[in-house]
């Protein structure tokens, strides 16, 4: 009987000794920033003594919080260190961190740029390449393809299976909506409620499969852009069951909604507290709002992005809800990422149609308050709004196609407007075909414009086959399944089976346009010069040293335009070629334009 208390004591000690989380569990030798912060989470470890003994690795700091289940250990990694397993020894357990060698050229990786065309995919809705992961035992929500807000079974393997199709279409970068674990009870397919920052959701695949996707893209000279959420997590994140610190979540972990008024960040007349109401408020009760003013959390988020860039060999990051996190944190986040990867690309989502609001966050912009940013790009929401209005509103002095011209004329407010990402639609708004009232001619005009204007174009999956959302703005409908991504689909957008003539025609047309775009230095690296629109017709040129491209958007009736008016841009050129028709075009006399048409002329 006397041994039972001893046995119980040993069992209790074993429970105390187990570490639940070590994040990150790996890091690299030769990083520009030599320190790495390791989050340790386990029962009552906060008072443990910490020891590290590994050549070239020094213990720099140990941070405690008001939760005794956490320790934050900072290691300094010398360039002379060798790969191996670094043990962080506590009184009750040892945490192991893999020390890795970087791949050659990792720091000089090239981000996306104007030579690229980005394809945005909702992974759950693109293709189901592995039906065995549709249901995962330790995750709450399973497959329910009949429910527009449910999980449909698309995954990373499905994307890999169709890379040849995407390559053939002319896309060069894939932006996937978030693929990290989202273990929410419902509505988890969209990915914006992270429950583990270091784990690919098993219903999509694994960390290794995500890396395979990146490797397969690289073989095709394509890149991978990761969707990153710095502002909030999912309510089922493991942090919410054992908060790392009492100030980890804004408003003490209790829901207080954001006012969504990003103008308060810049408004010289804003009342006290209005800006905090924007920054610190939550989107919805299921998305706890992170407090990046906590320096331990700030470092965790910065390191997580760097870890994924290095692990998955990313070519870019898309930053969700960009302006909502703490502004000082965003400055440091962009500085640290660009310090490690000077040629990398990051694009922020600042959903405003006001160029002054959007431009504030871009590097190189002259700001009213001296704010520092290293963010290379933003999504050009002002231009997206202008194109839809320009193609659908009546032609007057102040409306119609001149909206496009007027918006581009505001490019002087940006640090570099050429670095913006331009797009006809995305996952949070009606599809462009629906926004343009299912008018195929206007849709072609819009898609051609985005392929030939300044910036890096992004298209949403299925745009090439005229996917639409008639009569509803439900996101589940907007993000409908790509036809052919499931074995029992009767229509297949990948091989053309069952597509209508209009769908097949648009697909072939966009394929031709995007593959031509790859060959055009004027479009991918040239300057934009445009003329004041007249009577529903807008003309602009893309100009490089040895090549020029003339684009004419004609929103109205059939007409002709005198080429002599554009002599300053045409110069002595006598003849060009219509890119889409393949026919020769005389650069003198009058140019004939069909009603609601676009012409792209290379010379």
Instruction: Report the catalytic residues.
Output: 320, 349
Residue in the structure block whose two tokens are 């995750």: 139
β-pairing verdict for 26-29 and 118-121: unpaired
Task: Give the torsion sign (CA, 288, 289, 292, 294).
Answer: negative
DSSP letter at 288 equals P
CA distance 294 to 595: 58
CA distance 153 to 141: 11
Residues 161-174, buried b or exposed e (16+ Cβ, 10 A)? bbbebbbebbbbbb
Q: Which of 328, 369, 374 is nearest to 347 (CA)?
A: 374
- Cβ within 8 Å of residue 212, ≥6 positions away: 160
CA distance 174 to 179: 13
What's the burial of 115, exposed, middle or buried (CB within 10 Å: 0-12/13-18/19+)? middle
Q: Which of 217, 44, 215, 230 is nearest to 121 (CA)?
A: 217
- Cβ within 8 Å of residue 537, ≥6 positions away: 401, 552, 553, 554, 555, 556, 559, 561, 593
| Token code pair at residue 481 | 């399944």
Please tell me the number of Cα atoms within 13 Å of 230 on its side-chain side: 32
For every residue of 394-420, DSSP letters joined together read ---SSSSTHHHHHHHGGGGGSS-GGG-
Task: Give the torsion sign (CA, 519, 524, 528, 532).
Answer: positive
Instruction: Report angle CA 182, 185, 188 to the nearest 5 degrees.
Output: 40
| Token code pair at residue 462 | 């299925």
Q: Which of 531, 536, 529 is nearest to 401 (CA)?
A: 536
Contact 587, 564 (CB under 8 A): no
Q: Which of 92, 16, 12 is nearest to 49 (CA)?
A: 92
- Cβ within 8 Å of residue 7, ≥6 positions away: none
């Amino acid at each position: 009987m006397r041994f039972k208390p001893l046995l119980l004591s040993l069992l209790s000690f074993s429970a105390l000794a187990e570490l639940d989380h070590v994040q990150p569990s790996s890091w690299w030798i030769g990083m520009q920033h030599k320190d790495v912060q390791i989050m340790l989470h386990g029962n009552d470890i906060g008072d443990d003594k910490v020891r590290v003994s590994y050549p070239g690795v020094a213990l720099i700091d140990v941070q405690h919080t008001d939760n005794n289940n956490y320790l934050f250990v900072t290691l300094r990694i010398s360039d002379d260190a060798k790969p191996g397993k670094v043990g962080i020894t506590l009184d009750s357990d040892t945490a192991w961190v893999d020390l890795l060698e970087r791949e050659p050229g990792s720091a000089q990786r090239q981000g996306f740029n104007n030579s690229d065309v980005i394809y945005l995919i909702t992974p759950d809705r693109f293709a189901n390449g592995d039906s065995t992961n549709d249901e995962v035992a330790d995750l709450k929500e399973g497959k329910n393809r009949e429910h527009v807000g449910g999980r449909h079974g698309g995954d990373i393997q499905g994307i890999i299976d169709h890379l040849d199709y995407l390559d053939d279409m002319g896309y060069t970068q894939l932006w996937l909506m978030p693929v990290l674990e989202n273990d929410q009870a419902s509505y988890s397919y969209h990915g914006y409620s992270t429950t583990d920052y270091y784990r690919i959701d098993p219903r999509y695949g694994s960390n290794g499969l995500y890396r395979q996707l990146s490797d397969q893209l690289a073989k095709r000279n394509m890149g991978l852009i990761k969707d990153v959420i710095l502002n909030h997590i999912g309510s089922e994140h493991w942090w919410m069951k054992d908060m790392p610190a009492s100030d980890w979540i804004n408003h003490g972990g209790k829901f207080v909604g954001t006012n969504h008024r990003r103008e308060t960040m810049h408004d010289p007349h804003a009342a006290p507290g209005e800006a905090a109401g924007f920054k610190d408020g939550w989107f919805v009760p299921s998305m706890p709002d992170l407090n990046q003013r906590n320096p331990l959390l700030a470092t965790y988020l910065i390191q997580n992005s760097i870890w994924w860039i290095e692990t998955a060999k990313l070519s870019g990051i898309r930053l969700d809800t960009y302006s909502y996190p703490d502004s000082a944190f965003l400055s440091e986040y962009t500085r640290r990422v660009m310090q490690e990867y000077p040629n990398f690309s990051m694009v922020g989502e600042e959903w405003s149609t006001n160029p002054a609001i959007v431009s504030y966050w871009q590097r190189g912009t002259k700001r009213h308050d001296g704010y520092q940013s290293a963010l290379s790009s933003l999504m050009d929401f002002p231009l997206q709004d202008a194109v839809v209005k320009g193609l659908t509103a009546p032609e007057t002095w102040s409306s119609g196609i001149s909206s496009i011209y007027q918006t581009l004329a505001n490019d002087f407010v940006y640090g570099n407007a050429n670095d913006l990402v331009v797009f006809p639609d995305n996952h949070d708004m009606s599809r462009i075909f629906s926004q343009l009232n299912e008018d195929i001619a206007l849709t072609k005009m819009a898609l051609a414009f985005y392929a030939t204007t300044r910036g890096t174009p992004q298209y949403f999956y299925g745009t090439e086959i005229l996917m639409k959302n008639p009569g509803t703005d439900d996101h589940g409908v907007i993000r409908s399944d790509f036809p052919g991504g499931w074995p029992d689909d009767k229509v297949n957008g990948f091989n053309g089976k069952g597509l209508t003539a209009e769908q097949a025609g648009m697909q072939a047309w966009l394929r031709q346009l995007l593959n031509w775009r790859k060959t055009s230095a004027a479009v991918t690296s040239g300057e934009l010069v445009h003329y004041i629109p007249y009577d529903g017709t807008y003309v602009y040129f893309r100009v490089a040293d040895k090549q020029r491209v003339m684009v004419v958007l004609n929103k109205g009736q059939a007409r002709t335009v005198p080429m002599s008016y554009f002599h300053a841009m045409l110069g002595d050129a006598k003849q060009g070629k219509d890119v889409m028709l393949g026919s020769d075009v005389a650069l003198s006399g009058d140019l004939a334009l069909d009603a609601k048409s676009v012409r792209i002329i290379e010379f």
